[in-house]
Amino acid sequence: MPEKVLLGSDPLSAEQVLAVVRGLAPVGLTDAAEKNLASTRQHIDDLAHATEPTYGVSTGFGALATRHIPVESRTALQRSLIRSHAAGAGPIVEREVVRALMLLRLRTLASGYTGIRPATANALASMLNAGITPVVHEYGSLGCSGDLAPLASVALALMGEGQVFDITGNLVPAADALREAGITPVVLAEKEGLALTNGTDGMLGMLLLAAADLRRLLDIADITAAMSVEALLGTDRAFAADLQALRPHPGQARSAARMFAALADSEIVASHRGPDCPRVQDAYSMRCSPQVHGGARDSLTHAELVADRELASAVDNPVVLADGRVESNGNFHGAPVAYVLDFLAIPLADVASIAERRTDRMLDKARSHGLPPFLAFDPGVDSGHMIAQYTQAAIVSELKRLAVPASVDSIPSSAMQEDHVSMGWSSARKLRKAVDGLTTVLAIELLTASRALDFRAPLKPSPVTAAVRDLVRTRVEGPGPDRHLAPEIAAAEDLVASGAVLAAAAEHWEY
């Protein structure tokens, strides 16, 4: 059983989020958080019975905030808020995204600034621990006033309404899943509907998931690039530390050092290192790989900094301050997260683009320095990896479209009360699709470079690239007559996504 993650006033780390979301670590509230929630809730209860109206406590919401709601109608008000806001449409969002959404909303609830009751926060924690995942749809968030429709779908399930996936993945009524888990459906009290829906949790969750995936993919891109450089009889000298020091970007230095180390002790590289080699310099897609991969690394570092700041934030409106004041604010606006979500799609597309160029070079007889056309076993009869590169090209073209920012758009809503929105949820959905695309592009480069290295026999690759090539060979046969290529691409995707490529390289990599 993974270690329990306790929520309170302290920020969560990205590692803790991943432990809960992907590793199914249990969650709970600290004792201090329980006491803080009870204390803050007392302020809300006092305001609920005051004669002066307070937004979100005794009034309607959004453009309807001017209406004072009588005490006897407030339970219906909260219920109506959640039912009406759970207005999502389109494909069902992935389980890990919904778990991230739930966890990050619970983290803000546990901060003590939302006025929610301890029992309501504990019920949400129990849903997470029971593996109950509400059905959340693709569309419904404008990235402002919170990820409204997605979060309302979670709150709806907490009320025992709507549909959820149980821990085994079966689609069942929420009421049945809660009953099976021993969780009593929540009857929401004043302010709780807002507290459950006013957050940037969906877009932040997707940022954290994408950042973890992209960090791994950039490590793998260094490996596949090194394999391609080796297969194309390129030089490792451009990656030397003294050259990289002339331009001291940390991401570039890391990628160059990784590639240089990956090519150490390569017979293929050594075979053309002498004065007889007529080539002056390699193509940009080979020589400039550290600059592209490194720029992506530094962009990711900035995005992770923004994510860390957001993990330390309490995002709700209104918020309950320590002195009992309930204040409206704009912290629910998703702009800071939306910008970096869009930003990451740009270097991601470029990393895929340079990988596709390296792949194409290995398939072109005029530029591959002795490799057979398209790496075909019997060129003319066989097409080799010709169409695999087409697949790469189609994905790269799609990634360029996905790199067009969503956060520059805004569409007014709620009778012009919410007249500027971030579209951060859309930025996050694009980025998740882009991560999948980069995974496939690198998988195809991995397949192609492995095949090209086989054609360089009897010269041996470096220990690192040989280990990765041998890993590929456990799932995909070496050069031979054309085979059904789609399953081989899928197998390479699995090796990339699972981290097996990094594990294989690490056994021989002293970096």
Active site residues: 55
Reported as type and span, the H/E element at residue 52 is none
- Single-letter amino acid code for the residue at 321: L
What is the helix (H) or strand (E) element at residue 449, kind and residue range?
helix 424-455
Contact 238, 459 (CB under 8 A): no
Contact 127, 317 (CB under 8 A): no
Q: In the block, which residue shows the tokens 């995942």? A: 133
Cα(246)–Cα(344) distance, integer angstroms: 26
Q: How far apart are CA 236 and CA 218, in angstroms?
A: 19
Question: CA–CA separation, 54 vs 40, rounded Å?
Answer: 15
SS3 at position 3: coil
Indicate the length of the chain as a whole number.
511
Instruction: Tell me whether residue 72 is exposed, middle or buried, using C-beta atoms within 10 angstroms of its C-beta: 0 to 12, 13 to 18, 19 or more.
Output: exposed
- Tokens for 433, please give them: 């699709």
Distance CA 177, CA 307 (A): 32
Comparing CA positions, the residue from 363, 223, 236 lying closest to residue 293 is 223
**320 sits in which H/E element:** strand 319-320
Query: Which amino acid is present at 295?
Result: G
Please say whether the beta carbons of 143 and 334 come within 8 A. yes
